A and B are shown apart, each in its own frame.
Chain A
């Protein structure tokens, strides 16, 4: 049953991405007009899927890597939609769609479809809070990386005076892209910090200690420091524009590596051993 919801969501995302790409290429048609609603439709279908699996599990369904990816895809789609609509940036949609599709595709095909038996230690109100903060932080970092990529491509064209596309008249200015990147990083950093704090409090409540240096914890701390450094370089030294965008993408690749690596090695509490 679940798989139908997710397949429909995937189809919506694929159509939405096509629509955004058409809009970008200057082909305005019905599909490009419906690109944003389709993105929202995909997210709504995913909401249905999460809701049903959540009821079944008795908590938010994020007990394995695949499920976490599906949840991340959902958050990225929603945050991306907000960004596209609120700041009139259809160009972001060209990248959001494919990334969401990849995350959802990998997640849905690797996650366990067996009836989830929630381990005792996870049956806690801390779980949704901790995981939502962590994955929302990641979703915002995904968007920051996308905005940075758009910035770099656009900046290169302006700098080399290569002819701009006619649709570039609708691309946000460099200043705006840079500011949005900064805001996304700031909010993402806040979410990540909250995820660490809530995780520590939860660990203390369950196991009696705040921190156990399991691989996910260590890597998260490293990533937290990297993003802190990124924000610091802007505030203190004034690094912005091209340099900030490049660094955002660099830190994001570390984030992707650690997320995938830690999850696949599957050790520690975040890897499925909840003892």
Chain B
């Protein structure tokens, strides 16, 4: 039977989180789960388990895919104590080309909730490492995963799929990166200690911000957040003097009127000696007067501007995703070609050795005469037979491979060739000359031609 690669599971598109969370495996349990799965599903030869918050997938290699699917589904239901009917309908199942494409798309982050997000590649590498550790990854999975990683790398390099900001807080941080070269020596002032401000501040801290000032109408909130983020709380009534220190000001309080207007900011800019300021206004109604944007070296972005940045980058990523898809298609074909070749390997090996044995047999038959020749002549005959055999082999093997490429069943063709040649061998070596003579007709013709030739 032929081995096929398969992948099935649930992801964020079809299956609600309520089901996904019950199927998901804890990080530490995966190696053990793979061993249990291998035991519960004898139809599966190789297997890996991919479990992230957006997907739970079983990927493997089998010769009987329906049985493998049934066994693995039963295992999943049993092992996670989930009623199979809860997820059976949203389960997708890919085989052969579709499975390889799915794996490559997942690795290249084309199947992610946010296209182009980088975490999935690490998660996939993890899944591979666990399968390798559990000893459930064989030749095909090893190669498939490595190929998936290199496809992901190629996609990252050749497209801009990971570029741009796809959330409001990352858009704000992205803007900081366009204005400032380094964030290590910058100061951030948060006006308002809301959730969005906190998220943005966390992102900025991750990129190197050291100095963080926080003010809030309720001073206790500012103190609490300052403690969480290792910042300094400043009183809301007197935050104005701190403005000149801040390179990035994030406003997120609810106020009927702007808390910073152009008149007071004029002095701040001069005191800052025109060093650039990024004002991020997350408040509705807006916290900063929009005239501030027209001031020199002041960059003001309100919530709509940030949303526009996000939409823009999502659009850009989708355009880039099309380029990525065509890279994936190319790589899928090249992987399948390798896989096909793999199937032919045993037959090709047999064909080669049969033909070589035939050649040796024939030389052996003329041994006495050959020995009477001069060594130089013997060598020439030796190389003549080798050349003939290689030409013949080349025709047969490339015929099989080409036929395969055209959609014919190469394995079948290879098998026929293998049987014909070994039958031929039996006929030559044994006394029963009449074994399947009809089958040999075509081959015999080629062979006789060789024999008639004057050596």
The 8 A CB mask of A30-46 against B (1 = contact, 0 = none) is 00000000000000000
Q: Does A161 contact B (CB under 8 A)?
A: yes
Residue of A nearest to B179 (CB): A174
A270 within 8 A of B: no
Question: How far, in whole Å, are A143 and B175 apart by their CA atoms in the complex?
Answer: 26
Cβ distance B302 to chain A, nearest Cβ, rounded Å: 9
Closest to A154 in B: B178
Q: Given known contacts A161-B305, A175-B180, is B273 in contact with A238 (CB within 8 Å)?
A: yes
| Cα–Cα distance between A175 and B175 once the two chains are bound (Å) | 12
* Residues of B with C-beta under 8 A to A159: 293, 299
Contacts of B275 in A (CB 8 A): 238, 240
B-contacting 9-mer, from A5-13, A163-171, A205-213: A163-171
- On chain A, the residues within 8 Å of B164 by CB distance are 166, 169
Bitwise, A115-139 to B at CB < 8 A (1) or not (0) is 0000000000000000000000000
- B160 at the A/B interface (Cβ < 8 Å)? yes
Please, which residues of chain B bring their CB within 8 A of the CB of A229? none
Are B181 and A241 neighbours in the complex by a CB distance under 8 Å? no
Contact mask for chain B residues 265-295; partner A; CB cutoff 8 A; 1 contact, 0 none: 0000000111110000000000000000100
Q: Which residue of chain A lies nearest to B180 when distances are taken between CB atoms in the complex? A: A175
Residues in B with CB closer than 8 Å to A164 are 178, 309, 312
For the complex formed, measure the closest distance between the CB of B179 and the CB atoms of chain A, giving whole angstroms: 5
What is the 8 Å Cβ interface bit string for chain A, positions 138-179, against chain B (1 contact, 0 not)? 000000000000000000001101011011110111111001
Given known pairs A159-B299, A173-B178, A173-B180, the reply for A241 and B163 (CB within 8 Å) is: no
CB pair B274 A166 closer than 8 Å: no
Chain B: minimal CB distance from A198 (Å): 35
Q: Are B181 and A169 in contact (CB under 8 A)?
A: no
Residues of B within 8 Å of A240, CB to CB, are 273-275, 297
B160 A175 Cβ-Cβ under 8 A: no
Task: Give bound CA distance, A237 to B275, whole Å.
Answer: 11
CA–CA, A175 to B276, complex, Å?
Answer: 8
**Residue B316 at the A interface, CB < 8 A?**
yes
B247: nearest chain-A partner, CB-CB: A175
| Known pairs A166-B163, A239-B274, A240-B297; A28 contacts B158 (CB<8 A) | yes
The answer, yes or no, to whether A243 is at the interface (CB within 8 Å) is yes
How far is it, in angstroms, between the C-alpha of A259 and the C-alpha of B400 when the chains are bound?
74
Task: Tell whether, in the assembled complex, residue A242 and residue B297 are in contact, meaning their CB atoms are under 8 Å apart.
Answer: yes
Nearest-neighbour CB distance to chain B for A134, whole angstroms, equals: 31
Q: Which of B181, B273, B301 contacts A175 (CB 8 A)?
A: B181
Is B439's beta carbon under 8 Å from chain A? Answer: no
A interface residues, tally (CB under 8 Å): 25
In the complex, whether B308 has a CB less than 8 A from a CB of chain A is: yes
| Shortest Cβ gap from B176 to chain A (Å) | 9
Which of A169, A238, A239 interacts with B160 by CB under 8 Å?
A169
Give every chain B residue within 8 A of A242 (Cβ-Cβ): 296-297
**Known A166-B320, A169-B164: A241·B178 in contact at CB below 8 Å:** no
A26, CB-defined interface residue at 8 Å: yes
Question: Which A residues are CB-close (under 8 A) to B182?
Answer: 175
Q: State the Cβ distance, A14 to closest chain B Cβ, in Å.
A: 25
Are A158 and B297 CB-contacts (below 8 A) given A166-B163, A175-B181? no
For B320, give the chain A residue with the smallest CB separation: A166
Given A161-B305, A169-B160, A243-B296: A174 touches B276 (CB 8 Å cut-off):
yes
**Across-interface contacts of B297 in A (CB, < 8 A):** 240-242
Say whether B181 contacts A179, CB under 8 Å. yes
* Contact in complex: B308, A161 (CB < 8 Å): yes
- By a CB distance below 8 angstroms, the chain A residues around B296 are 241-243
Greatest chain A CB density within 10 A among B305, B308, B316 is at B316
Contact with B along A68-110 (1 / 0, CB 8 A): 0000000000000000000000000000000000000000000
Q: Which residues of B contact A241 (CB under 8 A)?
A: 274, 276, 296-297
B261 at interface, CB cutoff 8 A: no
Residue of A nearest to B157 (CB): A28
Could you tell me if A161 and B301 are in contact, using CB atoms closer than 8 angstroms? yes
Question: Judging by beta carbons under 8 Å apart, are B177 and A173 in contact?
Answer: yes
Beyond A158-B299, A161-B308, is A26–B160 a contact (Cβ under 8 Å)?
yes
**Which one of B178, B180, B316 contacts A166 once the chains associate, using CB atoms below 8 Å?**
B316
Q: Which residue of B lies closest to A169 (CB)?
A: B163
Question: Within 8 Å CB of A28, what residues of B?
Answer: 158
10 contacts between A and B (CB under 8 A): A26-B160, A161-B305, A169-B164, A171-B178, A172-B181, A174-B276, A175-B276, A237-B273, A242-B296, A243-B274
B residues in contact (CB < 8 Å) with A: 158, 160, 163-164, 175, 177-182, 272-276, 293, 296-297, 299, 301, 305, 308-309, 312, 316, 320
